[in-house]
Amino acid sequence: MAQVTGELEASFTTDFGILNVYQGPAGGNASTLSYASTSPGILAVMCGAKCPEIRARLELWDARPPAPGPEWEDCDEVPWRSLPGGGPVRIAGFDPPTGDGLDVEAFADARMQVLACGRHQYDAWDDDGDPERYLFRLWPEPMPDPLNSAPRRIAGRLPWDWQFTPWERAVHAWELAGWSLALQRIPAFRDLFLVIAGHGEPFTEDAIANAISVVAYRQEGDPWACPVLHEPDKTFPDPTRVEKLNAAAHAAGMTAIHTYADALTALVQLGLLCRIPTRRGTRFVPNPTPEPASDVLGASAAELPTYLAEQYSDYFPLTGDLRQLAEWSPGGSLSTSVRRAAVRLSVPATHVVGALQNLAAANPRQVDIPYRDITTSSTFRLTSLPWAPPVAL
C-alpha cells in the first residue's frame, strides 16, 4: 500500500495568479497554460483569480497514491523530473518562498498529480472568496507518454471559453476568421465592425447609419456617402491601407470601395453579412461561419500568422498545452489524432484544430500537415520547437 514519505504545507496570498512548486531559490520558467504544466524542476499552476489566497500541500509518495476524494474539482497528472543538485522543492506564489523545502532528489522520473478546489468560485479578477486549495502528490513512476494519462478534469470554464450571446459569437467568428485584423485599419470597416458588434439584433441600413453618425464621427449629412478613407488613421498608421482596400474590393467582385455604403455592400459580398427578408423589410445579420480572410483575400504563407492572430489569442493556452505534450513525449514529438488530443485535454476537437492551425501557420516545421488541411479528423505529428509568436499587423 502506498505511503506518504514527506509533506509540505504553505499558506499565502499571491499576485498575478502565480503558483509554483519548484526547486532552487529562483524558481523556473514553466508556462501556466490553461491549468498546470511542468518543466524539469518546476510545476506551474494557473490560479482562479489574480490575487487569490492559497492553501497548498505537497505530498511525496513511495508509489501511486489512492484515487483523490470527491472534494477535488480539478485534476491532472503531469510528468515531473527533478534537477540533479537542484536543491529542495518549495511552494511559492508571486513572492519568494519561506521556510524549508522537501528533498526530491529521488524523483528523477516521476509523476505529479495536481488537484484543486475553489478555482471557479468567482471571476478571474474578483478576489473576494474562500482560499483556493491545492494538493500536489508526487511519486516515482516513469511517464513515457503523457498523452496516455487519464483525461484532464476542469470543473469551470477554460481561459478562452468566454460566454457569448449568439450575436456576439457570430461577430467573434469574424475575428477568428481573420477579418477584423485584415480590415481594421480601414476606417469604414472598423466603424462598421464596431457598431454591428454592439447592435445585437437584425438591423436595417438606416439603423446602422444612425449608429455610425453617433458613435464614429458625429458627422452631419448622409453617413453612407462618407469616404471610406475619410481621415488619416493617426493611432495606427498603415501605408498599405489602399492595397488592402483594393484587395477587399477585388475579392468582393466590386470595381472599388469608395464610401461607407460600398463598405456595407462589401461585407455582404465577402460573406460577413447575410441579408434576410422579414415582414418589415430586409434586415442584416452577421454570418457566424465566414470563410477565412486568408483564403478569400489570397494571403501568402508568410501572412498566415497575421490573419490568425485573433484566433491565436483565443487558443493560446491550448496551444501551450499541446506543446507541453510534445515536449514530454518520446523524442519531443507528439503523434496522435485531433480527437485523441481533445479527449486528453478535455476540450472540443474544434479547439484543438484552432490551436494546431496557429502552430502550423507560425512555424510549418512544427506540424506535419498544412494549416488549411487540419480538421477534426486529422492525425498529426507535433514537434517540440521554440515558441514562435504571431506576426502583428
Contact between 59 and 112 (Cβ < 8 Å): no
Which CATH number belongs to the domain containing residue 86 in this structure? 2.60.34.30
pLDDT at 9 over 50: yes
**Within a domain: 351:** yes
**Within a domain: 123:** yes
More reliable by pLDDT, 188 or 302: 188
Name the domain count of the chain: 3
Any idea what the Cα angle at residue 274 is, between residues 268 and 280, rounded to 5°? 115
**Within a domain: 25:** yes
Does residue 336 sit in the same domain as residue 206? no
Mean pLDDT of 180-186: 85
**Within a domain: 153:** no
Give dist(CA 55, CA 188) in Å, integer: 52
Q: Which pLDDT score, from 0 to 100, does residue 234 have?
A: 55
**Within a domain: 160:** no
Side chain identity at residue 194, one-letter code: L
Q: Which pLDDT score, from 0 to 100, does residue 236 have?
A: 55
Contact between 43 and 78 (Cβ < 8 Å): yes
More reliable by pLDDT, 26 or 184: 184
Mean pLDDT of 105-126: 84
Least confident of 11-25, 33-47, 177-191, 235-249: 235-249
**Within a domain: 253:** yes
Does residue 288 sit in the same domain as residue 350? no
Does residue 237 sit in the same domain as residue 269? yes
Give dist(CA 331, CA 108) in Å, integer: 18
153 Cα distance to chain centroid:
18
Residue indicated by cell numbers 471610406: 228
**At 302, is the pLDDT very low, low, confident or very high (cuts 50, 70, 90)?**
confident
Does residue 49 sit in the same domain as residue 96? yes
Contact between 56 and 14 (Cβ < 8 Å): no
Least confident of 168-182, 251-265, 379-393: 379-393
Q: Which pLDDT score, from 0 to 100, does residue 237 have?
A: 59
Does residue 46 sit in the same domain as residue 98? yes
Does residue 186 sit in the same domain as residue 78? no
Instruction: Using the 3D structure, point to which of 265, 281, 299 is the last residue of a domain.
Output: 299
Three-state secondary structure call for residue 125: coil
Cell readout for 172 is 467573434
**At 68, is the pLDDT very low, low, confident or very high (cuts 50, 70, 90)?**
very high
pLDDT at 152 over 90: yes
Does residue 174 sit in the same domain as residue 113? no
**At 385, is the pLDDT very low, low, confident or very high (cuts 50, 70, 90)?**
confident
Please list the alpha-helical segments (H only) found in the chain. 166-176, 179-183, 187-199, 205-211, 241-251, 260-269, 293-296, 304-307, 309-328, 338-345, 349-362
Q: Which pLDDT score, from 0 to 100, does residue 392 have?
A: 39
**At 218, is the pLDDT very low, low, confident or very high (cuts 50, 70, 90)?**
very low
**Within a domain: 154:** no
Cell readout for 379 is 492525425
Mean pLDDT of 185-197: 90
Instruction: Using the 3D structure, point to which of 277, 299, 321 is the last residue of a domain.
Output: 299
Q: Which pLDDT score, from 0 to 100, does residue 219 have?
A: 54
Does residue 279 sit in the same domain as residue 338? no
pLDDT at 270 over 50: yes
Q: Which residues pair with 282 in a beta bridge?
A: 277
Of 182, 185, 163, nearest to 174 (Cα)? Answer: 182
pLDDT at 158 over 80: no
**At 220, is the pLDDT very low, low, confident or very high (cuts 50, 70, 90)?**
low
pTM of the model as a whole? 0.80
Q: What share of the chain in percent tops pLDDT 90?
A: 54
93-107 pLDDT per residue, tens: 999 888 789 999 999
**Within a domain: 157:** no
pLDDT at 41 over 70: yes
329-356 pLDDT per residue, tens: 999 999 999 999 999 999 999 999 989 9
**At 225, is the pLDDT very low, low, confident or very high (cuts 50, 70, 90)?**
confident
Does residue 280 sit in the same domain as residue 171? yes
pLDDT at 128 over 70: no
Q: What is the 3-state secondary structure (H, E, C) of 323-349?
A: HHHHHHCHHHEEEEEHHHHHHHHCCCH
**At 210, is the pLDDT very low, low, confident or very high (cuts 50, 70, 90)?**
confident
Instruction: Using the 3D structure, point to which of 118, 148, 178 is the last residue of a domain.
Output: 148
Taking all residues of the chain, what is their mean pLDDT, rounded to a whole number?
87
Instruction: Show the domain range for 321.
Output: 303-383
pLDDT at 256 over 90: yes
